[in-house]
Chains A and B, each alone.
Chain A
Amino acid sequence: MRKNDSLTGNLDWPLLIAILTLMFMGLMTVYSVAFDPEHPSIFDFSQKYGKQVMWLGISLFLGTLVFLIDSDIYRKFAVPIYLSVIAMLVIVLFMPEVNGARAWLGIGSMGIQPAEFAKIGTAILLARYLGSTNLRSQDKMTVLIANGIILVPMALILLQPDAGTFIVFTSFLFVLYREGVSYDPIILALLNLLPMRWLHFKQTWLGSHFIPILFVVIFISVTTLLLSQETIAIEMFGGLEVEGKWGMVFFLGIISLVAYFLMRSIFARRDRRRAATIAIIGFVLASGLALVVQLGFDELAPHQKERIELVLGLREDPDGDDYNRNRAMAAVGSGGLFGKGYRNASVSSVRTNHVPESETDFIFCPFAEEWGFAGTIVLVFIYLFILLRIIMIAERQKAAFNRIYAYAVAMILFYHFAINIGMSIEFMPVIGIPLPFFSYGGSSMMSFSIMLFILLKLDSQRKDVLN
């Protein structure tokens, strides 16, 4: 094995700088939103911003520590790491309840959330398993074991309960998808439950692309139902008011158009004609789905509707108009083009307390309110850059373990990003998960940092790996 001359020689600086930028922006937002004039110093450790400075320090310290350790140990010790986080997830179930969940290990504010670290352990074991050289991705056993690795911590997390992290764990399914794990065996097993014989069923397009299809279906369904409550005014047509479902179809049309032009610019010349076909088919399928979902929802009995609305957070508050998301959206939407200015958030400041958890799960709100669209577009771009950069890093790995781990990190970050921002702009139900590297909180900051520095370390040592 050939060692690098310097420790940081192969460090992926663009990714690290993007992450540090996020951390800085997050800290400044916490400083703004939780600002107490009687404790003006950002290093005042009695305040949230002071603590966040401390968490950042600890996280970067841990990150550096991770970077000093040889990355080979993760692959070697994947099983013990996984088992120890599982053990922590079991132990935490016997801890006293805090805010209705047994999620905290440790005492008071110095506790950690094992669920945050379970993501890392699961990612590592998944990488180890799917990265083994003799893996047969179409096998029944493969899909069962791979799903099992994910399902065990998920089940334990559901017992806490922690719905947010539970949902985040489904992001690993995309990792399975990337590695070619086919759901055909499961689909076939399900089909065989029906009183018909499906002997000729072998390998299908549905089974191969089961996960992204499921994701798109769920995303469109949820968004349609969230929009179904409102009438949408389409400004471009002179404020024409349409029902939620037609608004959804309109949005899908715009998205398909954008996707078409994007595909045209990316695709090779001979594939360009396919772009239009894909866009049209995609649009028809997605619109059809949205309309069917809306139709199906309308047909439901009132109590069933109520249950779904409850799950989506549309009925969180009996007053209807006043639920958390409504206020979160008021905060985001009132930011305007350039925002109200630093430390001027009126709806989502901690002092006014209209938006709950505005320094943790809803931190996007004060940021959007203070910096406006100019700020949010920058933030979205930074996240998009980080996600695509990680995919790029993943694809340049020689070792399957590294690639799979990188995909796991990308998917987890993507889920956090999409759900956290989505719930403030009516694309997602309100699910309490932090915005990575941005929200206030020790556990999430530390676990994300460790997760990322493992990736950076793996990447910096990618040339050392022979196989």
Chain B
Amino acid sequence: MKFDGRKYVIITIFVLIGIVYSFKLFYMQVVDDEWKLRAQQIAEKRREITPPRAVVFDRNGNKVVSNKTYYNLMMVEANIEKLDTVAFAKLIGWTVQEVRDRFIEIVEGEGEYYNKHTGKTTSNYQRIRAYPFIKELTAEEISRIAPHLKNFKGFYEEVSSMRDYPYANGANILGYLAEVTQPEIDKDPFYRPGSRIGRAGIERYYEDYFRGKKGVRYIVTSAMNNTVGSFENGKYDTIAVQAPAIHLGLDIDLQAYGEQLMQGKKGCIVAIEPSTGEILALVSSPSYDPNLLVGNRKIRENYPMLVNDDNKPLFPRPLASEYMPGSTLKLVQSLIGMQEGVITKDSGFPCNKSVVGCHNHPSAQSVTQAVQMSCNPYFYAVTRRIIQQGKKRSSFEDSEIGLAKWAEYMHSFGLGVKLETDITGLRSGVIPDPAYYDKWYGHHAWKFSTIRSISIGQGEVQLTPLQLANLAAIMANRGWYYTPHFVKSIGEDGPLPQFLEKHYTMVDRKYFDPVIEGMRRVVWEPGGTARRARIDGITVCGKTGTVENYIGSIKQKNHSVFIAFAPMDNPQIAISVFIENAGGGGGTWSAPTASLMIEKYINGEVKSTAKEERIMNAELKGGPK
């Protein structure tokens, strides 16, 4: 027929459409990812499941950090029907205005979304989505609200997990959690807005060990944003894994006892197991109950109070407070002197009060006696010999060499350097070296007589109580230490590898014995400065320190310092106690406090009740001398 050719036009149209559609389908389904992402936005939601953080046990298997169930009061605006705001406010104990403000806060908190196709800005807030109206209600609080929620459609309760501290102790060790900041979210994909992160203490240091492995669920959501089921039958889902339990070297009972002893006093106690470097107790006084900083609500309520407290309970004194160590430094001076060969254990020096003040005692005829009597002129002489060894004609140049050597020794004792303990907020203390004094006085413009107060642990020398406790551990071990640390095991693994590395001091083992004998006599011999540290049946070795201090030019009551270890042979505990402005000497308050801690740890109970009562009841408020 005449028009038969026209069938080709129609066939061409069919085939062309078929080809065009096939191309487009190939492009959309195989090449272009845009629609896959869009599908995920619309219907295939990724839900992360954060496991509860690792629990923490002390050295005796007591749970010191666990997780507790809390409740969020959730809200879905689309489901709210004729809300009786007055009744609702009454139920949750808010004012009507607070309820209104909270609604606005939720909407504004969601931010806005800019659509580049239409140029319109819309709020990310969705009426059909669930938002927490009140976060972190306790079981008790929710039990008051929950029965009445049926009258308020659109509100319901939801469970969440937060930290719980069965003991109200060790806040400065354990630290606390807080919501992540935007930079933290940007840096680590683990965190989402609202995630919690360790903000202080071991929670911060061991954050990666605490948080566990997140689980992921891919779910299919409906247009009403309800969960319809799992995506592709959970093919891509993973389960959340809680991190293994963390065991501390801490003895929570000892810690609690220490905090009790330190009530009414400002200062710290640090106790270490010398053979392992595990920290047994780390008391910072005054402290706070760690349960005060659980969850946003409590942090908002309590944090300002703690931060503004003049006594600074949040400040981890044992790690971050730098004090002059006083006479406790004499132990190290005598060891350095012997190692350097400028004295022997039998060297004697007269107690010449014209160079530096001292109390009344016979002149020391040996290192042991000097330690026992804590003779200031003796250590002045020893330190002078260490600093000025006569290697150079000029005493200025000579002092420079000598001080450099001295500082090196000190560093080998972990003094004046940061002890890399597994906690954040550490300070290194100050052991002055030549560069330090050059800055003050100028190059070669100082010599021993300029800096002599360092011989007795005054002046520019500053140490943290943790370093003092470590010094006690070094004495106990006769010359070496493990870096003090809190965590003895993580799950099946031991402590971090750096805590298994032995650090040796630059002083030989043999020089320790006369000094330790001196420390024994400090406690046990007449003329010793710490007779109050005696415990029946336990040979305590210790050294007192009395630190003069001023506010402006007004002399304040002395700081009281005591470091010790016990028993003398096979030591189990090394300890430092530092009480600010306690008055008297190191033996008056710190020595008995230390002895109570030692007795408690070694014997498990304290029989020296009179001593205990005296310390516990003491309110040492400080003030001018």
- Is residue B182 within 8 Å, beta carbon to beta carbon, of the partner chain? no
- Is residue B117 within 8 Å, beta carbon to beta carbon, of the partner chain? yes
- Is residue B220 within 8 Å, beta carbon to beta carbon, of the partner chain? yes
- Of the listed stretches B30-38, B189-197, B243-251, B445-453, name the one at the interface; the rest are far from the partner chain: B30-38
Beta-carbon contacts under 8 Å, A305-357 to B: 319-321, 326-327, 329-337, 340-341, 344, 346-347, 349, 351-354
Establish whether residues B30 and A337, one from each chain, have CB atoms under 8 Å apart when the complex forms.
yes
Known: A320-B120, A376-B29. A254 touches B21 (CB 8 A): no
- Of the listed stretches B10-18, B50-58, B463-471, B518-526, name the one at the interface; the rest are far from the partner chain: B10-18
**CA distance in complex: A139, B229 (Å):** 64
Give the residue of A233, A332, A381 whose beta carbon is less than 8 angstroms from that of B35.
A332
Beta-carbon contacts under 8 Å, A142-200 to B: 174, 177-180
Interface residue SS majority, chain B: helix
Please encode chain B, from 202 to 233, with 1 for each CB lying within 8 Å of some chain A CB and 0 for all others. Answer: 00000000000000000011111000110111
- Looking across the interface, which residue of chain B has its beta carbon closest to that of A364? B25
Establish whether residues B232 and A341, one from each chain, have CB atoms under 8 Å apart when the complex forms.
yes
Establish whether residues B20 and A427, one from each chain, have CB atoms under 8 Å apart when the complex forms.
yes
Give the residue of A327, A354, A391, A421 whose beta carbon is less than 8 angstroms from that of B21.
A421
Residues of B within 8 A of A354 (CB): 42-43, 222-223
What is the CB-to-nearest-CB distance from B233 to chain A, in angstroms, rounded to a whole number?
Answer: 7
What is the CB-to-nearest-CB distance from B25 to chain A, in angstroms, rounded to a whole number?
Answer: 5
**CA distance in complex: A434, B411 (Å):** 85
What is the CB-to-nearest-CB distance from A250 to chain B, in angstroms, rounded to a whole number?
Answer: 11
- Is residue B3 within 8 Å, beta carbon to beta carbon, of the partner chain? yes
Residues of B within 8 A of A391 (CB): 7, 10-11, 14
Residues of A within 8 A of B34 (CB): 333
Known: A179-B3, A344-B233. A373 touches B26 (CB 8 A): yes
What is the CB-to-nearest-CB distance from A326 to chain B, in angstroms, rounded to a whole number?
Answer: 7
Establish whether residues A255 and B19, one from each chain, have CB atoms under 8 Å apart when the complex forms.
yes
Give the residue of A137, A180, A388, A422 whose beta carbon is less than 8 angstroms from that of B11.
A388
Beta-carbon contacts under 8 Å, A340-386 to B: 340-341, 344, 346-347, 349, 351-354, 368, 372-373, 376-377, 380-381, 383-384
Residues of A within 8 A of B17 (CB): 414, 418
What is the CB-to-nearest-CB distance from A165 to chain B, in angstroms, rounded to a whole number?
Answer: 20
**CA distance in complex: A346, B16 (Å):** 31
**CA distance in complex: A387, B231 (Å):** 37
Establish whether residues A327 and B42, one from each chain, have CB atoms under 8 Å apart when the complex forms.
yes
What is the CB-to-nearest-CB distance from B223 to chain A, in angstroms, rounded to a whole number?
Answer: 5
Establish whether residues A380 and B21, one from each chain, have CB atoms under 8 Å apart when the complex forms.
yes
- Is residue A235 within 8 Å, beta carbon to beta carbon, of the partner chain? yes
- Is residue A258 within 8 Å, beta carbon to beta carbon, of the partner chain? yes
Establish whether residues B7 and A395, one from each chain, have CB atoms under 8 Å apart when the complex forms.
yes
Known: A354-B42, A354-B43, A384-B14. A178 touches B222 (CB 8 A): no
- Looking across the interface, which residue of chain A has its beta carbon closest to that of B23? A254
- Is residue B44 within 8 Å, beta carbon to beta carbon, of the partner chain? yes
What is the CB-to-nearest-CB distance from B5 to chain A, in angstroms, rounded to a whole number?
Answer: 10
- Looking across the interface, which residue of chain B has its beta carbon closest to that of A209? B9
Establish whether residues A352 and B220, one from each chain, have CB atoms under 8 Å apart when the complex forms.
yes
Establish whether residues A351 and B6, one from each chain, have CB atoms under 8 Å apart when the complex forms.
no
- Is residue A132 within 8 Å, beta carbon to beta carbon, of the partner chain? no
Residues of B within 8 A of A259 (CB): 12, 16
What is the CB-to-nearest-CB distance from A233 to chain B, in angstroms, rounded to a whole number?
Answer: 7
**CA distance in complex: A26, B24 (Å):** 22
**CA distance in complex: A36, B1 (Å):** 55
Establish whether residues B13 and A212, one from each chain, have CB atoms under 8 Å apart when the complex forms.
yes
Residues of A within 8 A of B20 (CB): 251, 255, 427
What is the CB-to-nearest-CB distance from B527 to chain A, in angstroms, rounded to a whole number?
Answer: 86
- Is residue B118 within 8 Å, beta carbon to beta carbon, of the partner chain? yes
**CA distance in complex: A216, B12 (Å):** 11
**CA distance in complex: A334, B618 (Å):** 74
**CA distance in complex: A334, B231 (Å):** 13
- Is residue A262 within 8 Å, beta carbon to beta carbon, of the partner chain? yes
Give the residue of A262, A341, A373 whose beta carbon is less than 8 angstroms from that of B30.
A373
**CA distance in complex: A395, B115 (Å):** 53
Establish whether residues B18 and A380, one from each chain, have CB atoms under 8 Å apart when the complex forms.
yes
What is the CB-to-nearest-CB distance from A238 to chain B, in angstroms, rounded to a whole number?
Answer: 13
Residues of B within 8 A of A335 (CB): 29
Establish whether residues A334 and B222, one from each chain, have CB atoms under 8 Å apart when the complex forms.
no
Residues of B within 8 A of A337 (CB): 29-30
What is the CB-to-nearest-CB distance from A460 to chain B, in angstroms, rounded to a whole number?
Answer: 21
Residues of A within 8 A of B28 (CB): 329, 332-333, 425
Residues of B within 8 A of A333 (CB): 28-29, 32, 34-36, 38-39
**CA distance in complex: A448, B220 (Å):** 35
- Looking across the interface, which residue of chain B has its beta carbon closest to that of A384? B18
**CA distance in complex: A235, B4 (Å):** 42
- Looking across the interface, which residue of chain A has its beta carbon closest to that of B224? A353
- Is residue B2 within 8 Å, beta carbon to beta carbon, of the partner chain? yes
- Is residue B122 within 8 Å, beta carbon to beta carbon, of the partner chain? yes
Establish whether residues B6 and A178, one from each chain, have CB atoms under 8 Å apart when the complex forms.
yes
- Looking across the interface, which residue of chain B has its beta carbon closest to that of A215? B13
Establish whether residues A178 and B16, one from each chain, have CB atoms under 8 Å apart when the complex forms.
no
- Is residue B138 within 8 Å, beta carbon to beta carbon, of the partner chain? no
**CA distance in complex: A346, B39 (Å):** 8
Residues of B within 8 A of A407 (CB): 10
Establish whether residues A262 and B3, one from each chain, have CB atoms under 8 Å apart when the complex forms.
no
**CA distance in complex: A410, B224 (Å):** 41
Residues of A within 8 A of B117 (CB): 229-230, 320-321
Give the residue of B2, B18, B42 whose beta carbon is less than 8 angstroms from that of A330.
B42
- Is residue A426 within 8 Å, beta carbon to beta carbon, of the partner chain? yes
Establish whether residues A388 and B14, one from each chain, have CB atoms under 8 Å apart when the complex forms.
yes
Known: A180-B2, A387-B14. A326 touches B122 (CB 8 A): no
- Looking across the interface, which residue of chain A has its beta carbon closest to that of B119? A320
**CA distance in complex: A388, B28 (Å):** 26
Q: Which of B17, B32, B222, B228 has the most CB of A within 10 A?
A: B17
- Is residue B22 within 8 Å, beta carbon to beta carbon, of the partner chain? yes
- Looking across the interface, which residue of chain B has its beta carbon closest to that of A390? B14
**CA distance in complex: A322, B48 (Å):** 26
Q: Which of A330, A373, A410 has the most CB of B within 10 A?
A: A330
Establish whether residues A321 and B7, one from each chain, have CB atoms under 8 Å apart when the complex forms.
no
**CA distance in complex: A5, B130 (Å):** 71
Known: A178-B10, A333-B34. A321 touches B118 (CB 8 A): yes
Beta-carbon contacts under 8 Å, A254-308 to B: 254-255, 258-259, 262
- Looking across the interface, which residue of chain B has its beta carbon closest to that of A259? B16
Residues of A within 8 A of B44 (CB): 334, 346-347
**CA distance in complex: A331, B29 (Å):** 9
**CA distance in complex: A254, B24 (Å):** 11
What is the CB-to-nearest-CB distance from A76 to chain B, in angstroms, rounded to a whole number?
Answer: 24
**CA distance in complex: A368, B29 (Å):** 9
Residues of A within 8 A of B2 (CB): 180
Residues of B within 8 A of A372 (CB): 29
**CA distance in complex: A174, B13 (Å):** 11
Give the residue of B6, B21, B32, B40 whose beta carbon is less than 8 angstroms from that of A422.
B21
**CA distance in complex: A414, B17 (Å):** 10
What is the CB-to-nearest-CB distance from B449 to chain A, in angstroms, rounded to a whole number?
Answer: 77
Please encode chain A, from 52 to 70, with 1 for each CB lying within 8 Å of some chain B CB and 0 for all others. Answer: 0000000000000000000
Establish whether residues B24 and A426, one from each chain, have CB atoms under 8 Å apart when the complex forms.
yes
What is the CB-to-nearest-CB distance from B122 to chain A, in angstroms, rounded to a whole number?
Answer: 7
**CA distance in complex: A340, B29 (Å):** 12
Can you sample 7 A-B contacts with CB below 8 Å? A180-B2, A327-B42, A332-B28, A333-B28, A349-B228, A377-B26, A380-B21
Query: 13 more A-B contacts (CB under 8 A) besides A229-B117, A230-B117, A327-B42?
Result: A212-B13, A215-B13, A258-B19, A262-B15, A321-B117, A329-B35, A330-B35, A332-B29, A352-B220, A368-B29, A372-B29, A384-B14, A388-B14
- A-B interface, 6 closest residue pairs, ranked by CB to CB distance from nearest: A333-B35, A334-B39, A320-B118, A180-B3, A330-B38, A346-B220
Binding site for A on B (CB under 8 A): 2-4, 6-7, 9-32, 34-36, 38-44, 115, 117-118, 120, 122, 220-224, 228-229, 231-233
